[in-house]
């Protein structure tokens, strides 16, 4: 894995050695183990590799297949190698010496432009076919690795990050106003719904599950696949569903342990990361290799302000997972002295654009820094689990039953759920009834909710942002999702699906720690999407599939816990209180500078800060006005850099 980049000029214009050297120099600050290049007249390919395996398992990249004249540069780790060996007729005795980039070339030779459909793993690659004089590439189904590009009348250039492209003559840092308008307007932690555009007018990106072809100076993008299952799965019993789930999920975890270097995992007190860790630790024990876990905890001086069932400090549940799984070296990190404010400039360097995951930013980065110092090269995650393995909100399911007048099952489920949660049935019935009949019909969003809006009205009109966002479920005008279409809408939105991969790619290049998420494996997602709804909620149990399936693997204190949940990031405002004076001064500077006034409603930002400044306190962590202020600051600092 690592970073890839290249340039192809049209009309056979030669690329100079100086340009090639400049490309290679642009990635020397990234955490890579080897840098290579391949150069012929009008094409240059470069790769900076982060090697997770022994050197003998690699073919130096860019890799040239002498027989076909095909050259590849790839940021890749494949998870279905055994399947590919069989499909491509590669002898088992050669399996240990065939690299992932060789497998992609073989797949390209067999299936042509359809080859990405047969690849599972994390990848972004570009292939130069010398005979066809074409450049072909693809990004994996869920966008785990990034691929940016720039093209004009004379050339096509691509890179894993935007920095190398910005170093090229003629590539400016002009902002794409439509992107910026969506970033400001969408209240969710989502940059925009434009899957191809970036914040820069001169740079585009390849969306997840898409392929790209450059031929005769023309650039074509097309979608090659999706995570939608071909058919629904119908088994005879819960036990069969549970066994099938364990098979597909365990396979996804095992595939992500492919390294000869130390392995880590982020671990909270919940089901997703706990399930990943519980399987991985046992797999690694058989190889006499420990699993290092990293858990974020609040600082010692933080006083919890959330309600009793929402836990800022998840250590009691985390330690249950650690004790039950065994073979774990656990670490608890409070990142004392770090905050969303102190890390903001470095995050802007890493992301190359504004970002919204501000509340958790200090520990996202802090865990990678700490793990890198310990020599960890691969980090297991469970971040994709909410819509795959642990999907299944009980109240949404009960709304579904109530609306379909399945009263017998509704009554049975409500009774069991009330007992599990320790709440009265009458209260639950009232709550679910209000939830059911207050919902609008799908596809009929309401008026814009002004609570989170701080875009300059004139800028909103000039970019037509509200009209463009109408077809999307992004919180502008509320939500009209139901249990029947919630996951479909989620996985259809490539912008949402690819967010995790964008952050993961850029963090890996900074710190050399590669994220691998079994809950985001397309085969796991397809399996979960193929199941009946009652596999996810049953007998008064939400997220029922993973809870049942992990029996005997995940500690019961975690597996059966329905009453408590972690609230990571609830201390983010607490952490910036010592810096409040300088924070306030910078917000005043922001409002007075004029730099952001064409984009932001400065009066709204002023009033938001006036409110939170009355009594700065930790409880502002979820306050809409505080979010408006901190997001305005991210945007201000980003635009200052461009100015």
Instruction: Flag whether pLDDT at 440 surpasses 90.
Output: no
Residue 509 Ramachandran class (φ > 0 left, ψ -120 to 50 alpha, else beta):
alpha
pLDDT of 275 above 90: yes
Q: What's the whole-number mean pLDDT along residues 271-294?
A: 97
Q: Is the pLDDT of residue 439 over 60?
A: no
**For the chain, how far is it from start to end, CA to CA, in angstroms?**
34
Helix (H, G, I), strand (E, B) or coil at 5: strand
pLDDT at position 365, please? Answer: 96
Quick one: pLDDT at residue 527?
A: 98
| Percent of the chain surpassing pLDDT 90 | 82
pLDDT one-digit tens code per residue, 205-228? 999 999 999 999 999 999 999 999
Each residue's pLDDT tens digit, 114-161: 999 999 999 999 999 999 999 999 999 999 999 999 999 999 999 999
Sequence-separated (6 or more) residues with CB below 8 Å from residue 128? 6, 8, 43, 45, 70, 71, 72, 134, 135
Give the least confident one: 404-418, 509-523, 600-614.
404-418
Let me know if 544 is exposed, middle or buried by CB neighbors in 10 A (0-12, 13-18, 19+): buried
Distance CA 633, CA 235 (A): 52
The pLDDT mean for the chain works out to 93
Tell me what pLDDT residue 56 has.
Answer: 63
Residues 551-601: tens digit of each pLDDT? 999 999 999 999 999 998 999 999 999 999 999 999 999 999 999 999 999
Q: What is the pLDDT of residues 229-267, one digit of tens each?
A: 999 999 999 999 999 999 999 999 999 999 999 999 999
Q: What average pLDDT does this structure show over 309-325?
A: 97
Residue 601 sits at φ, ψ, to 5 deg, of: -80, 95
Neighbouring-strand partners of residue 155: 9
Instruction: Give the model's confidence band at 104: pLDDT under 50 very low, under 70 low, under 90 confident, else very high.
Output: very high
Q: How confident is the model at residue 443 (pLDDT cuts 50, 70, 90)?
A: very low
pLDDT at 474: 87
pLDDT at 479 over 80: no
pLDDT in tens, 56-103: 667 788 999 989 999 999 999 999 999 999 999 998 767 778 899 999
* Angle between the N-to-C axes of helices 499-511 and 361-373, in degrees from 0 to 180, rounded to the nearest 10: 40
| pLDDT for res 447 | 66
At residue 397, the 3 state secondary structure works out as: helix
Per-residue pLDDT band at 441 (split at 50, 70, 90): very low
β-strands 70-78, 63-65 pairing = antiparallel
Looking at residues 329-348, what average pLDDT do you find? 97
- pLDDT confidence of residue 26: 86
| pLDDT the model gives residue 14 | 80
Which residue, 141, 126, 133, 150, is CA-closest to 11?
133
Whole-Å CA distances, 317 to 312, 560, 571 = 12, 11, 19
In this predicted structure, what is the pLDDT of residue 287?
Answer: 93
Q: How far apart are CA 148 and CA 139, in angstroms?
A: 10
The whole-model pTM stands at 0.95
Higher per-residue confidence, 435 vs 416? 416
Q: Does residue 31 contact residue 79 with C-beta atoms inside 8 Å?
A: no
Tell me the pLDDT band of 442, cut-offs 50, 70 and 90: very low
In the predicted model, is pLDDT for residue 15 greater than 90?
A: no
CA dist 521 and 508 (Å) reads: 19
Residue 364 has pLDDT above 90, yes or no: yes
pLDDT at 445: 53
d(CA 125, CA 81): 17
What confidence score (pLDDT) does residue 130 get? Answer: 92
Percent of the chain whose pLDDT exceeds 70: 98
The three-state secondary structure class of 222 is strand
């Amino acid at each position: 894995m690592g970073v890839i980049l290249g340039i192809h000029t049209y009309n056979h214009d030669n690329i100079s050695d100086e340009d090639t050297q400049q490309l290679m120099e642009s990635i020397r600050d990234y955490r890579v183990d080897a840098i290579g290049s391949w150069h012929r007249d009008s094409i240059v390919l470069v790769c900076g590799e982060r090697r997770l395996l022994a050197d003998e398992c690699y073919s130096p990249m860019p890799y040239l297949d002498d027989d076909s004249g095909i050259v590849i540069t790839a940021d890749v780790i494949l998870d279905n190698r055994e399947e590919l060996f069989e499909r491509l007729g590669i002898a088992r005795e050669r399996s240990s010496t065939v690299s992932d980039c060789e497998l992609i070339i073989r797949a390209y030779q067999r299936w042509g432009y359809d080859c990405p459909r047969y690849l599972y793993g994390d990848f972004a690659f570009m292939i130069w076919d010398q005979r066809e004089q074409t450049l072909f590439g693809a990004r994996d189904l869920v966008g785990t690795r990034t691929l940016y590009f720039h093209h004009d009348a004379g050339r096509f250039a691509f890179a894993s990050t935007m920095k190398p492209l910005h170093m090229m003559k003629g590539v400016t840092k002009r902002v794409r106003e439509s992107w910026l308008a969506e970033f400001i307007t969408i209240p969710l932690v989502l940059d925009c719904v434009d899957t191809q555009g970036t914040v820069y007018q001169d740079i585009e990106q390849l969306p997840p599950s898409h392929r790209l072809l450059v031929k005769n100076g023309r650039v074509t993008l097309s979608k090659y696949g999706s995570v939608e299952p071909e058919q629904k799965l119908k088994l005879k019993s819960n036990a069969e569903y549970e066994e099938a789930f364990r098979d597909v999920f365990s396979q996804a975890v095992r595939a992500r342990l492919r390294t000869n270097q130390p392995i880590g995992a982020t671990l909270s007190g919940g089901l997703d990361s706990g399930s990943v860790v519980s399987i991985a630790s046992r797999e690694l024990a058989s190889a006499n290799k420990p699993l290092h876990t990293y858990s974020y905890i609040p600082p010692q001086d933080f006083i919890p302000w959330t309600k009793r069932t929402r836990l800022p400090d998840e250590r009691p549940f985390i330690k249950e997972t650690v004790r039950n799984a065994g073979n774990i070296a656990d670490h608890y990190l409070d990142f004392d002295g770090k905050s969303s404010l102190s890390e903001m400039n470095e995050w802007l360097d890493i992301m190359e654009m504004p970002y919204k995951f501000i509340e958790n930013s200090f520990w996202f980065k802090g865990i990678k820094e700490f793990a890198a110092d310990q020599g960890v090269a691969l980090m297991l995650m469970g971040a994709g689990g909410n819509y795959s393995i642990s999907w299944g909100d009980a109240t949404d399911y009960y709304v579904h039953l109530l609306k379909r007048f399945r009263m017998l099952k509704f009554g049975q489920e409500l009774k069991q759920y009330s007992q599990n949660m320790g709440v009265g049935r009458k209260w639950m019935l009232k709550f679910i009834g209000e939830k059911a009949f207050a919902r609008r019909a799908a596809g009929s969003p309401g008026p814009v909710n002004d609570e989170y809006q701080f875009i300059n009205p004139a800028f909103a009109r000039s970019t037509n942002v509200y009209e463009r966002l109408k077809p999307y479920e992004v919180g502008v005008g509320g939500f009209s999702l139901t249990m029947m279409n919630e996951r479909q809408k989620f996985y259809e939105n490539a912008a949402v699906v690819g967010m995790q991969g964008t952050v993961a790619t850029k963090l890996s290049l900074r710190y050399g720690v590669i994220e691998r998420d079994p809950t985001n494996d397309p085969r796991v997602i397809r399996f979960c999407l193929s199941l009946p709804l009652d596999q996810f909620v049953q007998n008064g149990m939400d997220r029922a599939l993973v809870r049942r399936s992990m029996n005997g693997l995940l500690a019961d204190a975690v597996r059966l816990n329905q009453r408590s949940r972690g609230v990571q990031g609830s201390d983010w405002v607490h952490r910036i209180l010592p810096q409040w004076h300088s924070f306030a001064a910078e917000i005043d500077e922001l409002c007075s500078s004029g730099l952001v006034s064409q984009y932001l409603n400065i009066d709204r930002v002023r009033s938001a800060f006036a409110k939170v400044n009355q009594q700065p306190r930790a409880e502002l962590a979820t306050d809409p006005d505080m979010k408006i202020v901190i997001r305005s600051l991210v945007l201000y600092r980003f635009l200052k850099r461009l100015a």
